[in-house]
Structure 1
Amino acid sequence: MIPRTLFDHEHEAFRSTVRRFLANEVSPFHEQWEAVHLVPRAVWKRAGELGLLNATTPQAYGGLGLDRRFSLITSEEVFRANASGLIGFGVHDIVAGYLNNFATEAQKQRWLPGMAAGELIGAVAMTEPNTGSDLQAIKTRAVLEGDHYVINGAKTFISNGTHCDLVVLVAKTGNSGKGSQDISLILVEADRVGLSKSRPLKKVGLHAQDTTMLFFEDVRVPRENVLGGEPGKGFIHLMKELAWERLAIAGQSIAGAEAVLEQTLDYTRGRSVFGKPIFEFQNTRFQLADLKAQIAIGQNYVDRCMELCLAHTLTPEAAAAAKLWCSDLYTRVVDQCLQLHGGNGYMLEYPVARHYLDHRVLRIAGGANEIMKELVGRTL
């Protein structure tokens, strides 16, 4: 297959650091974290010490000042190791992206250093119980009273919901009736009076990832907590960062699919039926060869999108297509590889079974794949 040319030796050295961190400080303990639905804060701080959080944050704000290929590497390796409890690292990185790209100088200085150090954990509060992907239909409202916004509403599916210290809240701040122009992003500290968190939500997979609901009851925040200092820009900010989020999901999907394929190759070579390894049957080799080719194609498309992202020319429809195709591919790979494991594929001691539980959300996260089809369809 075509070798990847997206990364240089510095990127690969960083990848080695991520892999050692996951192998030594995450994988041996992940099952324990699944039982309590939480990754310890000490793991976040250790990741911060190693520079694995918010690598793109400028050095002036505590980060490494690197390009987004480093963020992609962390996402890829987390999924390659199926360390699903650390999916929140990606959400944390998205919060930093909002601050890096749109925040005022005071907002950057206040929050970015703690985020880079893993001492302050970020979350995005976007989805509501009855809105799904329709952001313009949100009900959460922030009403300006003097120098403070008073916030009321509820949000759900909050990754990092238990641990979060800073929430990027999507709320309506206007009454123009023009939809997107009434939406703002507000930075809300999680210890504000009136903000409460639910218990971890019971999910199909991602059991170590702390996912909750957030409730806002007359929560007061200073008006200077509006991201960028100007209300009504929230929808624009969301659309600019969603392309990166969707590209990251595409990269995660390819990395996860590649890991499952490698594990299945090992399994089929070592497991025999009717007197010979499963891999020796032509049906097995043909299935695996087909998956290998599809993964390679997806990887090349993701890498090309990453090049466009670095050049600030990645379009929303290109990112949507990447997220759509790659997350669908991840499902096909997991399903076919689980089948090749037979009954063992349904046992959680085998990695393919854990991927089966944890991967499915990627076809929903970052906008459901049906929305991705709509975005691509608008360009036809």
Structure 2
Amino acid sequence: MTTSQPMAFDAEKESLVLDAVERFVERELKPVAQRLEHADEWPAGIVAGMREMGLFGCIIREEYGGLGLSASTYAKVVERIARVWMSVSGIINSHLIMAACVQRNGTEAQRQRFLPIFASGELRGGLALTEPDCGTDLQAVRTVARRDGDHYVINGTKTWISNGIHGQAFAVLVKTDPQAQPRHRGMSLFICEKGPGFTSTRKLEKLGYKGIDSAELVFENFRVPAENLVGGVEGQGFKQVMSGLELGRINVAARGVGVARACLEESVAYAQLRRTFGKPICDHQAIALKLADMATRAEAARLLVEQAARAYDVGQRCDMEAGMAKLFASEAAVENAMEALRIHGAYGYSKEMNVERYYRDAPLLCIGEGTNELQRLIIARQLVERDPI
């Protein structure tokens, strides 16, 4: 069962939400981001604040207790958070992909049961897709669920799962028919709450993107009620996950815009303060050209995100638009981070400066929610499908 209701744009609501997020970011995130990131500490107080603001229900419809934001507004929320600390935007992203899978594909009983507690943040979690031997090729997952009366029994391992330690529930992609051909017809999606047989085994250490917990999840004869099968029908999991990843890729693209803009803003400010040869370095052509390119990349990325979010809001298929936004914005973040480091010189290499953190965070965006190489393939295939000879 799939529902995809167009989201109406509410300018007044957007303004109120974005103002509240801006105040929250300035008051709660900015003073502690550098310290918590370097300590790789899960930001319990910030998560509590986001829960109080209703951000765990950003895209969940109001009838289920959420804020009912359009993807366009949600992308702006993500961008504002990512400009200060990208990791925090990831805490709500994975959770909301799970929620989107239920909202778009779940039965009405599942929506009534799960969405209100997802929206309140009472039950938080994410999406469990990746496995030790399976990343981009999701059809190769080996985690299996077999029917046993009114339950399914799940066995397998998932890895690099965001919110894996502090989350309580996950949308888990499994094989209910490992022999199915094509393979995607044997895949199903379950909402699994932690319990006997479902554990987080370890926190995975990362180069950047710290603070948010990335973990390995292990299922050993884990029993999940059959009523937790999203949509109530086996074999729909791959399609359901793909629809959720459209929102995820818009989120990652919005993060890219946030990081790209943060790099630009820090560089513009520093280039006016730092002086060489008797003048601010922004007056040197070499630096001015870098700033111009950084600004252009950030603005182009923002416009691509807006285009993808609008398509998502009206219920159109937007894997190409989301792929374009994710591809360009993530690469813009990486390029701007490198240029920001160069503009800051030795100071950019210091842990005292934010640009060092952006430089470590940005590469994740080229990998997460599908590698940029995969995005290029999706874009190319859609170009041919949408304009056949």
What are the equivalent positions in structure 2 for 1:1-380 lying under 5 Å apart? Answer: 8-34=11-37, 37-174=40-177, 175-190=179-194, 192-378=195-381, 379-380=383-384
State the alpha-carbon separation in 2 of the partners of residues 278 and 314 from structure 1: 46
**% identical equivalent positions:** 34
Deviates more, 1:34-43 or 1:215-224: 34-43
Contact kept, 8 Å, 1:305 with 1:314, in 2: the verdict is no
Deviates more, 1:173-182 or 1:308-317: 308-317
Contact kept, 8 Å, 2:184 with 2:235, in 1: the verdict is yes
SS at match of 2:204: coil
State the alpha-carbon separation in 1 of the partners of residues 118 and 43 from structure 2: 16
Q: Which ranges of structure 1 fall in alignment gaps of 5 or more residues?
A: 1-5
Structure 2 vs 1, CA of residues 295 and 240 (structure 1 numbering), >3 Å: closer, same or farther?
same
Structure 2 vs 1, CA of residues 133 and 224 (structure 1 numbering), >3 Å: closer, same or farther?
same
SS at match of 1:359: helix
- The CA RMSD over aligned residues, in Å, is 1.8
State the alpha-carbon separation in 2 of the partners of residues 86 and 329 from structure 1: 18
Deviates more, 1:130-139 or 1:105-114: 105-114
Deviation string, structure 1 residues 309-351 (Cα, Å, up to 9, x no partner)? 2222243122212211111111111111110110000112211
Provide the residue aligned with 1:3 in structure 2: none
Deviation string, structure 1 residues 66-95 (Cα, Å, up to 9, x no partner)? 322232122111111124244111111111
Structure 2 vs 1, CA of residues 31 and 329 (structure 1 numbering), >3 Å: closer, same or farther?
closer
State the alpha-carbon separation in 2 of the partners of residues 66 and 363 from structure 1: 26
Contact kept, 8 Å, 2:86 with 2:361, in 1: the verdict is no
The alpha-carbon deviation at position 112 of structure 1 amounts to 1.8
Contact kept, 8 Å, 1:7 with 1:69, in 2: the verdict is no
Contact kept, 8 Å, 1:86 with 1:209, in 2: the verdict is no
Contact kept, 8 Å, 2:304 with 2:321, in 1: the verdict is no
Structure 2 vs 1, CA of residues 31 and 261 (structure 1 numbering), >3 Å: closer, same or farther?
closer
SS at match of 1:255: helix
What is the letter of the counterpart of residue 306 of structure 1?
A
The alpha-carbon deviation at position 160 of structure 1 amounts to 0.4
The runs of at least 4 consecutive aligned structure 1 residues that moved more than 6 Å come to: none
Contact kept, 8 Å, 2:162 with 2:212, in 1: the verdict is yes
State the alpha-carbon separation in 2 of the partners of residues 105 and 178 from structure 1: 29
State the alpha-carbon separation in 1 of the partners of residues 172 and 231 from structure 2: 13
Deviation string, structure 1 residues 251-289 (Cα, Å, up to 9, x no partner)? 221121011101100001001122221111011111111
What is the letter of the counterpart of residue 177 of structure 1?
Q
SS at match of 2:336: helix
SS at match of 2:170: strand
Contact kept, 8 Å, 1:166 with 1:188, in 2: the verdict is yes
Deviates more, 1:290-299 or 1:367-376: 290-299
State the alpha-carbon separation in 1 of the partners of residues 346 and 28 from structure 2: 31
The alpha-carbon deviation at position 37 of structure 1 amounts to 3.6
Structure 2 vs 1, CA of residues 372 and 44 (structure 1 numbering), >3 Å: closer, same or farther?
same
SS at match of 1:356: helix
Structure 2 vs 1, CA of residues 282 and 17 (structure 1 numbering), >3 Å: closer, same or farther?
same
State the alpha-carbon separation in 1 of the partners of residues 310 and 182 from structure 2: 35
Deviation string, structure 1 residues 5-59 (Cα, Å, up to 9, x no partner)? x983431221111121122223323345336644344533321221222222122
SS at match of 1:44: helix
Structure 2 vs 1, CA of residues 7 and 356 (structure 1 numbering), >3 Å: closer, same or farther?
farther
State the alpha-carbon separation in 2 of the partners of residues 132 and 326 from structure 1: 21
State the alpha-carbon separation in 2 of the partners of residues 288 and 217 from structure 1: 53
Structure 2 vs 1, CA of residues 36 and 223 (structure 1 numbering), >3 Å: closer, same or farther?
farther
Q: Which ranges of structure 2 fall in alignment gaps of 5 or more residues?
A: 1-8, 385-389
Relative to the length of structure 2, the TM-score reads 0.91
The alpha-carbon deviation at position 219 of structure 1 amounts to 0.4
What is the letter of the counterpart of residue 140 of structure 2?
A
Relative to the length of structure 1, the TM-score reads 0.93
Q: How many residues align?
A: 374
State the alpha-carbon separation in 2 of the partners of residues 243 and 362 from structure 1: 15
Contact kept, 8 Å, 1:85 with 1:207, in 2: the verdict is no
State the alpha-carbon separation in 1 of the partners of residues 38 and 308 from structure 2: 37
What is the letter of the counterpart of residue 231 of structure 2?
G
SS at match of 1:198: strand
State the alpha-carbon separation in 2 of the partners of residues 7 and 57 from structure 1: 15
What is the letter of the counterpart of residue 330 of structure 2?
S
What is the letter of the counterpart of residue 65 of structure 1?
G
What is the letter of the counterpart of residue 176 of structure 1?
A
Deviates more, 1:29-38 or 1:107-116: 29-38
State the alpha-carbon separation in 1 of the partners of residues 135 and 101 from structure 2: 21
Contact kept, 8 Å, 2:98 with 2:244, in 1: the verdict is no
